[in-house]
Structures are given as structure tokens and as C-alpha cells.
Amino acid sequence: MMFRQNSILLISLICIGMILACTPNKEKGEKLKYQEQYRPQFHFSPEANWMNDPNGMVYWDGEYHLFYQYYPDGNVWGPMHWGHAISEDLVYWEHLPIALYPDSLGYIFSGSAVVDHANTSGLGKDGKPPMVAIYTYHDPIGEAAGRDDFQTQGIAYSLDNGRTWEVYQDNPVLANPGIKDFRDPKVIWDEQTQQWIMSLAVLDKIRFYTSPNLLNWTFASDFQPSWAAYGGVWECPDLFPLKTESGEEKWVLLVSINPGGPQGGSATQYFIGDFDGKTFNPTQEDVEWIDWGADNYAGVTWSNIPEEDGRRLFIGWMSNWDYAQVVPTTTWRSAMTLPRALSLYTVKGKVYLKSKPVEELKALRGKEFPILNSTTEIGSKSFEVHIPLSDEKEFEITFSNDSQNEINIYKVRGHLVFNRSKSGNTSFMESFGRVNAVKLPDIQLDMISIYFDQSSIEIFINDGQLAMTNLVFPKRAYTHMDLVGINPAGKIYHLNSIWN
Ligand code: FRU
């Protein structure tokens, strides 16, 4: 008996000891999450492994859903799944299990999601509208066999707020007519014509389809103006209405293109025009880019944002196919851009697209201090800087560290230039060190805002009239900021991590 009591005591002590020994390690392990070198602290990135395009963004029942191209078994591109995360505020994200897995029709490529409020698809149940994902099936077997019809469009639906998904039994809903690049469906409900509209990237054009029910699609028109950018294949379209400052409705068409971007590799062009439920007619003929940096690709906007909010919310993949698979990150590859609200602004009768980081990000602001001198010690790896501009002909802002890494942002001869040639590790791809430049539009420059997060820098002129997003891989954080040709003024905010 005594022996039994002693051994129970001993076993209990061993267990308590083990728990005590394990707890700090576990906590330590948890704290280490999202602490790798270069790991973004206030941008979305997957817990581990490879991510590319944002997919299926939809708002429903208080949650912003973000699905994304995901390869769970490695940190380079592979058989695509849809990863999934949700947020109540576009700032803090919760990872959810993978939503869509490859099946007998192929890998799950990019696409969109909508809430079918009127249950036009009949996939809803007991008065609950379905959340419907519309995506491209990429059949690797058909591709390997040299066929040209290996990309088709399929759908899946969820009746529990995106937590579990049922693949539609009669997929594909849109078969391939024999065109190799036939992908990335973005679907919207068009109030005016009371039908669903699908924008699809087809080689180097955008093809529009219409549907009453998300299940049967009818060809409407092709968009392929002679003057657009055609340096590469067209991908990931998005079509949506926005109002100008004077209240006139315009339609915006986003088209990602790879290669052929203004800084080399991938980038997203946009078109402003009118749309009558069938045809998109551009009302201006210039190539414009949603972001003039090298690292904002495949971005599209959220569906079903409530009318009382009224914003058109965008997020992009913060990388470039030129080097996305070799950037020097370790356990994961790629992050998304900051979420941005899109709006229109007019200069000399011409309408442009503006993208501004969402207001919700202000919740991350920590220590705040004014810029008083031409040299400032920043003191954080994640920060936000706002510097007022007046009519400087030329200026230069340099961020640097004690390891001789620096990035230079400067205005010269009417251009905004971003130089990352000495930013840190650039050796993984020769073209990465290339200097980025954009001709400034004919606007008064009032403010430059910069968001820096470990390995990315997003620059916005005048609240996003011009945006430039770029990756950088410094040996250590840039701790100094030097201003030349600008009056030292404005503010710096340290930004808190969303992961810890
Ligand atoms: C864009 C893209 C899409 C495709 C997906 C595959 O980056 O090439 O066209 O659906 O990535 O992962």
C-alpha cells in the first residue's frame, strides 16, 4: 500500500516536473512564431510554406475572408490549394484550415467568391445563402499530355461561413474552348442588369460572361484594346464600379500582366471606362498601373462589402514572379500588401485610380514622435512615416543601417525613383537590384507616406494618388532616416505586430 502511495507521489512529481519543464518551452516556441528574419509583422503571410495570389475575398457576417494560392508542402510554387484566413478588421488575421484541395479536375488556381444572397444558384439551404467560390481548375495531366483545354472553371460552396466547402457536383461550370490560358474568374453581381458577370483572363484579353445563377455562363464580349500593355500573359482580372469626385459612375478593370510590368516582371494595369452589362468601353487610352513598384501583383477586391461601408477594398500579392520563388525567406514565402481602399481622382479631365491603406491600420500605432531633424533614429523594424511636401524640385529620403545597407527614395526630373541596389541581400536575382522609376503625374505633391515592415516598403504619395510597393532584404533593420531637400517635419509611428 505504502509502495503504491509512494509511486503515485513519484509519478505525480514527475508529471508536475514535466509540465513545468515543458511550459516555458512551449511559450518560448509560441513567442518564436513569426520571428524569423524578414518575417512581416503587420502584413498577412501564411504560417508556413508557399503563397501567391489573394483569392476569393468576400465579406460576410462580420468577417473578411482572405483565401490565397497555397502550396502546403513546400516554399516554392506547387500543386495549388486555397489557403484561408479571416479578419474582423483587415488588420489582425486568424488562420483557418485549407479551404479547397486539388481534386480529379485539377489544381485549384485563382478565382473569386460571392455570397449568393438571393440563392440564384439554388445551392443555399433552409434560407441560408451559400458562399460560392468560382475558381480555375488546372489539370496537370492534360497539360503534360500537350492538350490546350486543361484550364476550366469550377465552383464550390459553403453553408457555414466558409468553414467547410462542398465541391459542386457538375463541375466544370465553364468548359475550355481550346485555349491554354483560360483562368482566374472574378464574379460580381451587376445591380443594373440583375445578373452575374464573370471577368476571365483568356491569353492576352479579358473575356466577359454573364449568368443568372452562377452555374450557366454565356459569352458576352472580349476586351483587348490595341494600346494596352501586352508584355506577357493577362491574369487575375477584376471589374467594378466606382464614383468620381463629382459622383459620376465609372467602371474600373484591373488586369495583372506577367511579364511586362513597368519595373520588369509582373504588375497590375488598370483601365477606366463604362460597362453596360456586356461590354467594357474604355474612356481613356493610356497604360496605367495600380502600383508603380515591383512587388504588387494579382491584386483584386473584396466582394459583398456592405453598402453602409461602401469602400472598394483591395489587396495584392507582395512579390514578383521574376524572383518570388528565390527570395531569401526561410519557413514561408510571400506576404500580401497592406489592404487598400480604392477610389478615383481626376486631373485635367483624366480619371485615375488611387489606393490608400485602410484606416483600420491606425490601430497598430504605438510610439509616435515628430520629425524635427534631417537625421532621425527610428528605433523600430516596423514603422509608418508621413512627411509633408511642398514644391521641392528634388529631394531624397534615405533609410539605412550600420551594415551599409540603404534604400533611397528620391524625386528627380519629374520622376519618383526607388533604389534598392544597396538595400541588403540582392544576390538571389540580378534584376532585383534594378532602380525603379515612375514619371510623376501632373499633381501637386503634398505628402509622402511610407510603411516599412521588416522586408517591404510601401510608398504612397498624397494618400495613394501614386503607390510604389517594393521588397527589400536588409541585413539588419534600417534604423536611420536622412532627409535631403525636404523640410524636416511630419511624424513617425512605430507599428505593433499583429502576430504577438
Ligand atoms: C497569377 C497566377 C494565376 C494563376 C495562379 C496559379 O499569379 O499565375 O494566373 O491562377 O497564379 O497559382
In angstroms, the CA 255 to CA 267 distance is: 9
**Model confidence pLDDT, tens digit, residues 322-340:** 999 999 999 999 999 999 9
Going from the Cα of 338 to the center of ligand 1, the distance in angstroms, rounded, reads 20
Q: What is the pLDDT of residue 426?
A: 98
- Residue 194 clears pLDDT 60, i.e. is over it: yes
Q: What is the pLDDT of residue 32?
A: 60
Lowest-confidence segment of 25-34, 35-44, 250-259, 395-404 by average pLDDT: 25-34
Going from the Cα of 355 to the center of ligand 1, the distance in angstroms, rounded, reads 23
3-state secondary structure of 343: strand
| Inter-residue contact 121 to 132 (CB < 8 Å) | yes
Q: Please tell me the residue having the least CA distance from ligand 1 atom 6.
A: 109
What percent of the chain clears pLDDT 70, i.e. is strictly above it?
94
Which residues are catalytic, by number?
A: 53
- Ligand 1, from 49, 50, 51, 53: best to mutate by most atoms within 8 Å of Cβ? 53
- Residue 25 clears pLDDT 70, i.e. is over it: no
Order of all β-strands in the sheet with 218-223:
182-190, 195-202, 205-211, 218-223
Residue 350, classified by CB atoms within 10 Å of its CB into exposed (0-12), middle (13-18) or buried (19+), is middle
| Inter-residue contact 377 to 480 (CB < 8 Å) | yes
- Residue 315 clears pLDDT 60, i.e. is over it: yes
In angstroms, the CA 211 to CA 217 distance is: 5
Domain ranges of the chain: 49-357, 363-495
Atom of ligand 1 nearest to the CA of 110: 10
Cell of 55: 483569392
- For ligand 1, say whether the CB of 322 is within 6 Å of any of its atoms: no
- Residue 2 clears pLDDT 70, i.e. is over it: no
Going from the Cα of 455 to the center of ligand 1, the distance in angstroms, rounded, reads 23
Going from the Cα of 136 to the center of ligand 1, the distance in angstroms, rounded, reads 9
Per CATH, the number for 49-357 is 2.115.10.20
Q: What is the pLDDT of residue 441?
A: 87
Centre a 10 Å sphere on the Cβ of residue 36 and count the other Cβ atoms it contains.
Answer: 13
Superfamily of domain 363-495 in the CATH hierarchy: Exo-inulinase; domain 1 (2.60.120.560)
| Inter-residue contact 384 to 363 (CB < 8 Å) | no
For residue 461, what are the CA distances in angstroms to 317, 320, 338, 346, 448?
A: 20, 22, 15, 15, 5
Q: Give me the phi and psi of 32, to 5 degrees please.
A: -70, -15
Atom of ligand 1 nearest to the CA of 111: 10
Q: Which of 255, 251, 254, 253 is nearest to 274 (CA)?
A: 251
Atom of ligand 1 nearest to the CA of 181: 9
- For ligand 1, say whether the CB of 408 is within 6 Å of any of its atoms: no
- Ligand 1, from 49, 51, 52: best to mutate by most atoms within 8 Å of Cβ? 52
**Model confidence pLDDT, tens digit, residues 382-423:** 999 999 999 899 999 999 999 999 999 999 999 999 999 999
Residue 299, classified by CB atoms within 10 Å of its CB into exposed (0-12), middle (13-18) or buried (19+), is buried
Sign of torsion over alpha carbons 269, 323, 457, 51: positive
3-state secondary structure of 160: coil
- pTM of the prediction? 0.94
What pairs with residue 187 in β-bridges? Answer: 198
Mean pLDDT score of the chain, rounded to an integer? 94
**Model confidence pLDDT, tens digit, residues 144-161:** 999 999 999 999 999 999
- For ligand 1, say whether the CB of 195 is within 6 Å of any of its atoms: no
3-state secondary structure of 213: coil
Would strands 436-439 and 365-370 be described as parallel, antiparallel, or unpaired? unpaired
